[in-house]
Amino acid sequence: MGEGFYFIDILIFAMIAAFLVYRLRGVLGRRNGEERQRPNPYSPRTGQEGGDNVVTLPDRGVDRGADRGRAPVDVVPPAPDEPYSLAAGVAHIQTADPTFEEKSFVQGGRAAFEMIVTAFAHGDTPTLRPLLSDDVYDNFAAAIRSRQAAGESLETQVVAIRDADVIEARMEGRTAFVTIKFVSEQINVTRDKTGAVIEGDPEQPLEVVDIWTFARNTRSRNPNWTLIETRVPN
C-alpha cells in the first residue's frame, strides 16, 4: 500500500513539472494569456569575468543546426545602408505573423527572463534546453558545469525590474528577431563549497542591464521563440 501511494506521488510531481515547462514554452509571442510577471535577471559566465558579476555571452548568431524541437531560422542579412526603424520592424513581423503583439511579447519576455535566470542559477539544464539556441545553451551548460566542478553555488534575487522594452525588431528572410532590454536591480552572490561568499554582496543590490534577442521562424507551426543571444551594453 505504501509503495502505491509513493508511486502516485511521483506521478503527481511529474505532471506538475510537465505543466510548468509547457507554460514556459508558450509565454512568448503568439500565445497571449496569464504570463508570470516576476522577471529575473541573468548573468552567465563564459570565461570573461565582469566587474559586476555580469558576463556577456559572445555574439553567436542564430541556431543553424539540428532542430531539437524548433524550426530552423533562415537568416538573410539586410542591406548595409538600409535605414532602421523599430516601428517598421514590428510592422514587418506583424505582416509575417499577424498574431504578433509587442505588449504581449514583452510580458512573455519577462516571464521567460525570470525562468531562464532561475534555471541557470539552479543548474537546471533540462528547463533551459528547449528555450535556448544551441550556442547559447552550450555556453550556459558549460558555465553550470564549471560552477559545479568548483563546488560553487549561485544565488540570484531580483529586487526590482524597472524596464523591459523592445529596442529592436526585424525580419530576416522568414525569421523574426526581437530584442528586449531589461533593466533590473538584483543581488547575485556566488558562494564556495563552504558557503562563504566569494563574489557579490548579499545585502547590496546592483543595477544590471541585460539585452536579449529572441528568434522565431514565422512559417513554423511552432509558436515558441528561442533565445539566441544575450549581451550587456558596451
Q: What is the pLDDT of residues 181-204, one digit of tens each?
A: 999 888 899 999 999 999 999 999
Could you give the dihedral angle defined by the CA atoms of residues 89, 115, 131 and 8, in that order, rounded to the nearest 10 degrees? Answer: -140
Confidence grade of residue 82 (pLDDT, cut at 50, 70, 90)? low
Taking residues 141-163, what's their average pLDDT? 90
Taking residues 5-18, what's their average pLDDT? 47
Taking residues 47-57, what's their average pLDDT? 33
pLDDT reading at 29 higher than 70: no
**CA 61, 62, 64 angle in degrees (round to 5)?**
125
Confidence grade of residue 2 (pLDDT, cut at 50, 70, 90)? low
In which residue are the cell numbers 533551459 written?
128
Chain-centre distance of CA 225, in angstroms?
Answer: 10
pTM: 0.66
Q: Where are the domains of the chain?
A: 2-231
Mean pLDDT, all residues of the chain? 74
pLDDT reading at 9 higher than 70: no
Taking residues 95-121, what's their average pLDDT? 91
- Please determine, looking at this structure, whether the domain spanning 2-231 carries the CATH number 3.40.50.720: no
Confidence grade of residue 77 (pLDDT, cut at 50, 70, 90)? very low
What beta strand segments (E) does 13-114 contain? none
Reduced to 3 states (helix: H, G, I; strand: E, B; else coil), residue 46 is: coil
Helix (H) or strand (E) holding 209: strand 206-217
